[in-house]
């Protein structure tokens, strides 16, 4: 499947270059998953990515698409909703099978893996990961969706999608605002709740602790609004910074909450050039509940 997808990317890249951003495509009814995917990649305007994870994870590329669903994770619930709405192309941002490269060798006899794979195959679904290319959009598609969800477009510093100067509040006040946007989520927070804050840096997903630390080193960052990190890394750095009296804080939203709005943005973008086929966004929601 990976080889097939790579060939498709090469074949369509020259036809749908970034210069064709304004091109009107004909109705896509009757097109295959491979054709739709190639169109989407072309529309990002990004160059071909060697070794990309953006390949078909399950399903036949020649399947005629009846409807498209975008989502963060292809959970069992999301898959069932896609089937119920007659959508057989599921576009995900993150892995299908529990690891970055979707290596399934270790799951050959695992009942959870086998049931999920059977459901996908029984319903003739095509699962395509859209991770690398959406991040290479200009501006970044995931960050664009997050900024819109946060309502921070007017607070962007020099047009940046991850650097903001928000109206001054306390860290506690910022958390209250975030809770209103992400009511299903619990946050991990390090910092003085009464600290006055206005300089916020958005670090979606899991860019690594050094990305978090580098951002926090800068005078233009008081709060890092992050996805996730190893608890012995960024967490301990910020704990020491706070103990030293530095005006720093970190709020971990969770990986899903920090990126999921980007796949809502993705659905909106697809509706702009995919016609004749339904396109909808399904929220994955948080993986766990807090007690």
Examine residue 130 and state whether it is found in any structural domain, yes or no.
yes
Based on the fold, state whether residues 64 and 104 are members of the same structural domain.
yes
Query: Using one digit for the tens of pLDDT, what is the confidence trace for 194-231?
Result: 999 999 999 999 999 999 999 999 999 999 999 999 99
Number of domains in the chain: 2
Last residue of a domain, one of 137, 156, 186: 137
Q: Same domain, yes or no, for 167 and 121?
A: no
- What are the pLDDT digits (tens) for 40-95? 999 999 999 999 999 999 999 999 999 999 999 999 999 999 999 999 999 999 99
Residue 211 corresponds to which tokens in the numbers above? Answer: 């990305």
Q: 50 with 72: CB under 8 angstroms?
A: no
Are residues 23 and 42 in contact, defined by beta-carbon separation less than 8 angstroms? no
**79 domain-assigned:** yes
Domain boundary among 137, 158, 183: 137
> Residue 98 maps to which CATH number?
3.40.1390.30
The whole domain housing 91 covers: 2-137
pLDDT of residue 20: 35
Whether 167 is in a domain gets the answer yes
Burial 169-181 (b: 16+ CB within 10 A, else e): eebeebbeebeee
Do 61 and 169 lie in one domain? The reply is no
In a domain, 30, yes or no: yes
Among residues 137, 159, 191, the one where a domain terminates is 137
267 domain-assigned: no
- Do 6 and 133 share a structural domain? yes
Query: What is the pTM for the complete model shown?
Result: 0.88
């Amino acid at each position: 499947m990976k080889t097939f997808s790579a060939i498709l990317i090469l074949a369509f890249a020259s036809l749908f270059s970034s210069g064709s951003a304004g091109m009107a495509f004909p109705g896509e009814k009757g097109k295959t998953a491979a054709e739709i995917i190639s169109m989407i990649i072309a529309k990002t305007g990004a160059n071909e990515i060697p070794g990309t994870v953006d390949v078909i994870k399950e399903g036949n590329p020649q399947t005629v698409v009846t409807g498209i669903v975008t989502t963060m994770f292809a959970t069992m619930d999301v898959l069932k909703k896609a089937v119920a709405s007659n959508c057989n192309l599921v576009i995900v941002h993150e892995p299908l099978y529990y690891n970055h490269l979707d290596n399934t060798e270790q799951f050959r006899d695992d009942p959870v893996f086998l049931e999920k794979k059977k459901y996908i195959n029984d319903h003739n679904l095509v699962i395509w990961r859209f991770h690398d290319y959406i991040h290479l959009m200009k501006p970044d598609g995931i960050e664009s969706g997050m900024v819109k969800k946060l309502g921070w477009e007017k607070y962007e510093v020099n047009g940046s999608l991850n650097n903001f100067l928000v109206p001054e509040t306390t860290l506690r006040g910022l958390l209250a605002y975030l809770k209103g946007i992400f009511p299903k989520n619990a946050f991990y927070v390090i910092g003085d709740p009464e600290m006055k804050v206005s300089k916020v840096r958005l670090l979606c997903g899991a860019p690594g602790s050094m990305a978090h630390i580098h951002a926090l080193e800068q005078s233009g960052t008081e709060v890092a609004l992050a996805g996730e990190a190893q608890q012995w890394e960024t967490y301990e750095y910020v704990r020491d910074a706070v103990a030293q009296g530095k005006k720093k804080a970190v709020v971990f939203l969770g990986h899903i909450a920090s990126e999921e709005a980007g796949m809502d943005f993705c659905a909106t973008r697809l509706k702009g050039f995919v016609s004749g086929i339904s396109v909808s966004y399904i929220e994955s929601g948080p993986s766990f509940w807090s007690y």
